[in-house]
Structure 1
Amino acid sequence: MEARIAIAPSVEEVAVDGRANSPDLDRLRSRVMEAVVAGGGVNVPPAEANGLVWLVPGEPERLGPVLDGHPGIGWVQFPWAGVERFTASGVFRRPVVFTCAKGAFAGQVSEHALMLTLTCLRGVSLQARMPHWCSVDPRSLHGLRVTILGGGGIASEFIRLLRPFGCRVTVVRRRPEKVEGAEETLPSSALHAVLPETDVLVLALALTPETRHIVGAAELALLPAHAVVVNVARGAHIDTDALVEALRAGTISAAGLDVTEPEPLPEGHPLWSDARVLITSHCADSAEYVTRMFCERVERNVRNLRAGHPLEGLVDPATGY
């Protein structure tokens, strides 16, 4: 079939988010247009389109009217993996196929997760804050028990990065399919059973109503006191107040966070001043990498649309990711 692809919203319609690692929208639009052509499609206005590439990770209030006003659009491609804002808006109730970029950015995000893990274990955050010689007894990642919440692309890539360390990896996920490289793949109901045997807990799952605050006071209390928690998914996966209290009480030893709740984390929040915590401001992947990987996803999906093949990154409206 023909792939007549519109690109929206326009640069003038959206506010700049100010993140250093967000792609420049003008450049992203230009690169996406090239990807559409490379996939065998044509760039058209929304009134002529049967597909739409949405350039921003939010703005559901703008997307709904675009779809309602242009019923010929049967496919929408989102730029990021997380689509929770669109789930909450009711956009997915429309008879449209939605795809997102899940799995596309796994390389750099898993690399960032490894960095946060090593930082927590080796006391780097504490060392970096010290204006004087400060001896710290580090811990090695070799042979540790790593539990990953989520079984998607980030989890798979992170497991690959862990291979040289000989870690014992358990994946906890909603679906029962085994994740390659993990010793065990367990259902979400097994989370409490595996936490007491966890040295490193890594969150790499989609945010849904069921996974909001999946790690709270009860879960943190089940971890060993030497455990570290790393979050490269969404801030709302962790109850922030419970995390602050767990660190204060010594329930866990450290935390590495690329995402927080709220986000951005306000100045003066106790997590900023805790030397056992490293916070990176939602910057696990670079603008250049995001642009390149997203455009490769767009090109392949345009090609798949033309050939009638399954699209990559399908969003399941029932689960919200």
Structure 2
Amino acid sequence: MPRIGHSRVVPNTRAPRIHLGPDHETALAGAVERGGGVLVPLADADAVVWAQGPDTFPAELPDSVRWVQLPSAGIESWLAAGLVDRRRIWTSAAGAYAGNVAEHATLLLLAGVRGLAEQARATSWRKAEFDTGVGTLRGATVAIVGCGGIGRAMIPLLTAFGAEVLAVTRSGIPVPGAAETVDATRTSEIWARADHFVIAAPATADTAHLVDGDTLAQMKPTSWIVNVARGVLIDTEALVGALRDNTIGGAALDVTDPEPLPAGHPLWTLPNALITPHIANPANGLTRALADHVAANVERFATEGRLLAVIDTERGY
């Protein structure tokens, strides 16, 4: 199946006409203008910048629309809704929020390795007990599975703590700052090699339950796994079993399967589990980060540049 459009656009001889929807968001409107575009009604648009989910998106777009900018890095819901067509270029917000998510992922990993998950729940002084469970990132190997924008933003944070990074990418092209890069076909090699793991891969049919019972069994008993991608990348039932049996050190999850994680689920109370409610990319910073991404892509669209985060439906991201 062919990809959607191309990452390069036909040159414009005038400022590109951009429709911003579904509402006028001041920061995004400013980003469009900063990138060299002009705001117009949908009927007159060359491109669309959309700031909400697929449920508010127009059922049909004018033939004049050649590019659509979506507001999220994950596009599963857009693909499921059948909105992403092959008549025009579609771009996601992949990479726009990398700094925010990388900061949170590093926090989760450090909290897990340092034993904060259980210490924060304690209601009495248990120094002797907790002392033996405090680890360090110094000298550790952290494997980042799906080392794209988030992973690349994490590398300097992790190396500052004295860790080295094993990057797993689809292409296997060396990632700057990583001690080693392996392509995704060799992912099975990393589970027994690394000390800790960060899951940052896109959710596709190929990555569902990427971390399962067999995978968890290969990890070290001190290994922590952080997930800031999508909950379905980890087999929750297998993870709960590994945490209960202390097969691994622990899990720090900003995303879960199911999500929201229901009250009473064992992950809420297991001492070696740390849960945050999908806030690695907090709502109060979304528009600001997206605005920079929009401005860059509008400028590229206006000057025949290569657009950022072009969606490939064959890969699902």
Which residues in structure 2 correspond to 1:262-273 (within 5 Å)? 262-273=258-269
Counterpart of 2:223 in structure 1 is 227
Which residues in structure 2 correspond to 1:1-321 (within 5 Å)? 1=12, 2-10=15-23, 29-56=25-52, 58-59=53-54, 62-63=56-57, 65-67=59-61, 70-135=62-127, 136-137=130-131, 138-321=134-317
Q: Which moved more, 1:201-210 or 1:284-293?
A: 284-293
Q: Which moved more, 1:272-281 or 1:157-166?
A: 157-166
Deviations 1:76-100 (A, max 9, x none): 1011211122223333333110111
1:53 Cα deviation after fit: 0.9
SS in structure 1 of the partner of residue 142 of structure 2:
strand
1:288 Cα deviation after fit: 3.8
Cα separation, 2, equivalents of 1:288 and 1:269: 28
Aligned residues: 300
8 Å CA contact 1:76, 1:98 repeated in 2: yes
SS in structure 1 of the partner of residue 307 of structure 2:
coil
Cα separation, 1, equivalents of 2:166 and 2:220: 16
1:62 Cα deviation after fit: 4.7
Cα separation, 2, equivalents of 1:113 and 1:304: 30
Q: CA RMSD in A?
A: 1.5
1:307 Cα deviation after fit: 1.1
| Amino acid in structure 1 at the alignment position of 2:108 | L
SS in structure 1 of the partner of residue 60 of structure 2:
helix
1:319 Cα deviation after fit: 1.0
| Amino acid in structure 2 at the alignment position of 1:254 | G
SS in structure 1 of the partner of residue 71 of structure 2:
coil
1:50 Cα deviation after fit: 1.1
8 Å CA contact 1:192, 1:222 repeated in 2: no
8 Å CA contact 2:172, 2:184 repeated in 1: no
| Amino acid in structure 1 at the alignment position of 2:197 | L
Deviations 1:198-222 (A, max 9, x none): 2111001111111111111111111
SS in structure 2 of the partner of residue 219 of structure 1:
helix
Cα separation, 2, equivalents of 1:220 and 1:63: 40
Mark the runs of 5 or more structure 1 residues left unpaired by the alignment: 11-25
More helix by share: 1
Cα separation, 1, equivalents of 2:108 and 2:159: 17
Q: Normalized against structure 1, the TM-score is what?
A: 0.89
| Amino acid in structure 2 at the alignment position of 1:120 | G
8 Å CA contact 2:69, 2:90 repeated in 1: yes
8 Å CA contact 2:158, 2:164 repeated in 1: no
Q: Which moved more, 1:257-266 or 1:281-290?
A: 281-290
8 Å CA contact 2:229, 2:255 repeated in 1: yes
Percent identity reads 41
1:259 Cα deviation after fit: 0.7
| Amino acid in structure 2 at the alignment position of 1:131 | T
| Amino acid in structure 2 at the alignment position of 1:128 | A
Deviations 1:3-49 (A, max 9, x none): 11112234xxxxxxxxxxxxxxx6xx121112112222111111111
1:66 Cα deviation after fit: 3.1
Cα separation, 2, equivalents of 1:204 and 1:34: 30
Cα separation, 2, equivalents of 1:221 and 1:45: 56
Deviations 1:175-195 (A, max 9, x none): 121111112111222222221
